[in-house]
A and B are shown apart, each in its own frame.
Chain A
Amino acid sequence: MTVGQDAERLAPAHRRSAEPGAPAHRASSVIAAVVGLVGELLITLGVLLGLFVVWQLWWTDVAANRQQTEVVADLGWAVSPDRPAPSPEPSAPEPVHRTDPAPVMAEPAHATTFATLHVPRWGADYLRPISQGTTRRDVLDVLGLGHYEGTAMPGAIGNFAVAGHRTTYGKPLNRIEELVVGDPLVVQTEQAWYVYRVTETLTVGPRQVEVILPVPSQPEVAPTQAVMTLTTCHPMYSAGQRYIVHAVLDYWMPTADGVPPEITGGA
Chain B
Amino acid sequence: MYGSLWRHLPGPVWVRVGILVVVAAAVVAVCFLWVFPEIAPLIPFNDITVD
Contact = CB atoms under 8 A, between A and B. Distances in A.
Interface of A: 36-37, 40-41, 48, 51-52, 55-56, 59-60, 134, 136-137, 140-141, 146, 148, 163-169, 173, 204, 206-209, 211-212, 231-233, 237-239, 242
B39 to A, nearest CB: 8
A168 B36 CA distance: 13
A233 B48 contact: yes
A209 B48 contact: no
Most chain A beta-carbon contacts within 10 A, residue among B2, B45, B49 = B49
Contact of B36 (A55, A173, A206, A237): A55
A154 B15 CA distance: 60
Interface string B3-46: 00000000000000000000000001001100011011100111
Contacts of B49: 134, 140, 146, 148, 163, 231, 242
A59 B28 CA distance: 12
Interface of B: 1-2, 28, 31-32, 36-37, 39-41, 44-51
Contacts of A166: 48
A126 B10 CA distance: 53
A231 B1 contact: no
A237 B45 contact: yes
Contacts of B37: 137, 141
Given A37-B1, A51-B28, A206 B46 contact: no
A237 to B, nearest CB: 6
Nearest to A165: B48
A238 B1 contact: no
A238 B1 CA distance: 37
A233 B43 CA distance: 14
Contacts of B31: 48, 51-52, 55
B24 to A, nearest CB: 10
